[in-house]
């Protein structure tokens, strides 16, 4: 893993912000399409997040670290009545997603291209129906575990913005991260794990399209856990 850049004084480690050079079309998307879809955190969030979208939506779903965007695009295309907020600081991933949004004419996606904790702190209380954290950076070395996105602080943030009964879905192929998340959510009064039997966390989420990182995990022989927590 490349040495991370710290986004601000005390939080948010992520890897490279930029990879290989962008194609002309991708650069144009970043310049012209992203500004119209990027959340403006300098303004207060609207009391009703549904007003962020040009088409009527009934629910709000947030995906943190969408990477290649396979999951976000799939969900947004199949569920136009939900407004999606996708957050991803990696420029090449954002450019790829913008191409898909344009090609598939998705009108139910808003974006943010920096640290997701900034969006979490911007969103109003009890305003989000569902949070997806899919294959977050694993930080496998014990001395780096504290850099993981799942933390007491970020679960407090999730708890504040999720509606009662809202869901937090987490997927990972890294056993220590799965255990880490189970322990953090068990110790957090706002979350209950919905699993009743092993199949519930061994079976992908309903309608799961898979993701690039999941495909990599399979190629390398690792299986995954799919955890769903309810905001009580
Ligand atoms: C291991 S990748 C997984 C990508 C995708 N979810 C998948 O399953 O293929 C983790 C992603 O989280 C993003 N990320 C890391 N820290 C983040 C943060 N603080 N806010 C938003 N995204 C973050 C990274 O840029 C990276 O794209």
Q: Is the pLDDT of residue 9 over 60?
A: no
Give the whole-angstrom CA distance, residue 9 versus residue 167: 30
49 neighbors 127 (Cβ within 8 angstroms): yes
Helix (H, G, I), strand (E, B) or coil at 73: helix
Mean pLDDT of 128-146: 96
Does the pTM exceed 0.75?
yes
Which tokens sit at 16?
A: 């490279």
Task: State pLDDT tens for residues 217-230.
Answer: 999 999 999 999 99
Strand partners, 60: 83
The single-letter DSSP state of residue 126 is: T
CA of 82 to the centre of ligand 1 (A): 22
Helix (H, G, I), strand (E, B) or coil at 104: coil
Give the whole-angstrom CA distance, residue 76 versus residue 221: 30
Q: Which of 120, 98, 119 is nearest to 109 (CA)?
A: 98
Task: State pLDDT tens for residues 27-44.
Answer: 999 999 999 999 999 999
Q: What is the pLDDT of residue 5?
A: 53
Ligand 1 is surrounded, with C-beta below 6 A, by: 12, 14, 64-68, 87-90, 93, 115-116, 134-137, 211-214
Matching residue, tokens 């998307």: 29
Task: State pLDDT tens for residues 62-113.
Answer: 999 999 999 999 999 999 999 999 999 999 999 999 999 999 999 999 999 9
Give the whole-angstrom CA distance, residue 102 versus residue 122: 26
Burial class (CB in 10 A: 0-12, 13-18, 19+), 59: middle
Q: Which of 1, 16, 18, 65 to mutate to test the pocket of ligand 1 (most atoms within 8 A of CB)?
A: 65
Mean pLDDT of the chain: 94
What's phi and psi for 21, nearest 5 deg? -60, 145
Task: State pLDDT tens for residues 181-199.
Answer: 999 999 999 999 999 999 9
In what helix (H) or strand (E) does residue 179 lie, and over which residues does it extend?
helix 175-186
Name residues whose C-beta falls within 8 Å of residue 211's C-beta, 6 or more positions apart in sequence.
Answer: 67, 68, 70, 71, 134, 135, 171
CA of 191 to the centre of ligand 1 (A): 22
| pLDDT-above-70 percentage for the chain | 94
Q: Which of 102, 98, 131 is nearest to 117 (CA)?
A: 131
Whose CA is closest to atom 15 on ligand 1?
14
Atom of ligand 1 nearest to the CA of 63: 6
Query: Annotated binding site for S-adenosyl-L-methionine: which residue ranges?
Result: 63, 88, 115, 137
Q: What is the pLDDT of residue 20?
A: 87
Helix (H, G, I), strand (E, B) or coil at 200: helix
Q: What is the pLDDT of residue 6?
A: 54
* Residues forming the active site: 137
Q: Which of 85, 95, 97, 137 to mutate to test the pocket of ligand 1 (most atoms within 8 A of CB)?
A: 137
């Amino acid at each position: 893993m490349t040495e991370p850049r710290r986004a601000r004084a005390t939080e948010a480690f992520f890897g490279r912000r930029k990879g290989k050079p962008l194609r002309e079309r991708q650069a144009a998307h970043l310049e012209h399409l992203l500004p119209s879809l990027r959340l403006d955190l300098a303004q207060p969030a609207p009391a009703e997040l549904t007003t962020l979208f040009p088409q009527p939506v009934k629910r709000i779903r947030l995906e943190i670290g969408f990477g290649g965007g396979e999951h976000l695009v799939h969900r947004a295309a199949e569920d136009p009545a939900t407004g999606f907020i996708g957050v991803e600081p990696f420029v090449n991933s954002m450019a790829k997603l913008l191409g898909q949004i344009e090609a598939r004419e998705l009108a139910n996606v808003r974006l943010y291209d920096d640290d997701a904790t900034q969006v979490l702190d911007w969103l109003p209380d009890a305003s989000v129906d569902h949070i997806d954290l899919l294959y977050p950076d694993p930080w496998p070395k014990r001395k780096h575990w504290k850099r993981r996105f799942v933390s007491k602080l970020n679960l407090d943030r999730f708890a504040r913005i999720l509606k009662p009964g809202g869901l937090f879905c987490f997927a990972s192929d890294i056993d220590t991260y799965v255990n880490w998340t189970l322990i953090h959510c068990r110790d957090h009064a706002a979350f209950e794990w919905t699993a009743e039997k092993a199949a519930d966390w061994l079976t992908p989420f309903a309608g799961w399209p898979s993701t690039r990182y999941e495909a990599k995990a399979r190629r390398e022989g690792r299986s995954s856990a799919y955890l769903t927590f309810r905001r009580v």
